[in-house]
C-alpha cells in the first residue's frame, strides 16, 4: 500500500496542477494532525475551528478548492457538513454524562452562493429533551451574508465505551 500512496503523491507532484497540489496538501495536513477523541478526520480535513459562546457554538472553515463544486463555489454538501458538525458538536457538549447525540434529521436551505475565503456557522439550541434535541445553524460568508440555514434533530443515546 505504501508504494501505491508514494506513486500517487509523486504523480500529483510531477503532473498535477497547482490546485491539485493545494488539495493534496490540505488532505495530507488533515491526516497528519491525527484526530483525537473529540476530533474527526472531517474536522481536520476541512479545517473546522470551534469557538464556544454563551448560547451555543461558532464553527468556521476556510474555503479552499477541496470544498468547491464544479462552479467554483462551495458545494452544498460541505455547507451541510459544516452545519451538521456544528450542531453535533454542540449536542454532544450538552448531553448528560454517559450519553451521546447523533443526527436523526437535518434540513438545509441554501440561500446564496457560498463564496469568499471562509464560512462561519452559528449554532444554537432550540429544544433540549431527554430523548431528542433540536438545533438551528446559520452559515455566513465572510462578507456577513447568510448563505445557508439549517435545523437538525438529534437522538440522545447511551454512550458506547
**Domains within the chain, CATH numbers bracketed:** 47-158 (3.10.129.10)
Q: Are 114 and 148 in contact (CB under 8 A)?
A: yes
pLDDT at 1: 64
Going residue by residue through the chain, which has 161 residues, state the pLDDT in tens, using 9 for 90 and above. 667 988 999 999 999 999 999 988 998 888 888 777 677 889 999 999 999 999 999 999 999 999 999 999 999 999 999 999 999 999 999 999 999 999 999 999 999 999 999 999 999 999 999 999 999 999 999 999 999 999 999 999 999 87
The Cα 59–Cα 137 span in angstroms is 10
Question: What is the grid cell recorded at 40?
Answer: 474527526
The Cα 11–Cα 15 span in angstroms is 6
0.85 surpassed by pTM:
yes
- Of 151, 155, 129, give the one whose Cα is nearest residue 138: 151
To the nearest 10 degrees (0 to 180), the angle between helices 2-15 and 18-32 is: 140
Amino acid at each position: 500500500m505504501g508504494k501505491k500512496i508514494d506513486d500517487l503523491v509523486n504523480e500529483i507532484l510531477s503532473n498535477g496542477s497547482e490546485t491539485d497540489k493545494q488539495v493534496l496538501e490540505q488532505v495530507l495536513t488533515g491526516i497528519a494532525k491525527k484526530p483525537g477523541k473529540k476530533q474527526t478526520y472531517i474536522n481536520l480535513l476541512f479545517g473546522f475551528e470551534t469557538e464556544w459562546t454563551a448560547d451555543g457554538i461558532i464553527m468556521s472553515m476556510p474555503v479552499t478548492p477541496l470544498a468547491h463544486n464544479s462552479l467554483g463555489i462551495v458545494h452544498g454538501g460541505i455547507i451541510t457538513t459544516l452545519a451538521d458538525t456544528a450542531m453535533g458538536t454542540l449536542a454532544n457538549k450538552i448531553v448528560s454524562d454517559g450519553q451521546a447525540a447523533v443526527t436523526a434529521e437535518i434540513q438545509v436551505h441554501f440561500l446564496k452562493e457560498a463564496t469568499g475565503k471562509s464560512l462561519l456557522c452559528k449554532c444554537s439550541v432550540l429544544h433540549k429533551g431527554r430523548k431528542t434535541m433540536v438545533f438551528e445553524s446559520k452559515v455566513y460568508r465572510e462578507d456577513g451574508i447568510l448563505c445557508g440555514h439549517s435545523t437538525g434533530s438529534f437522538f440522545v443515546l447511551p454512550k458506547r465505551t
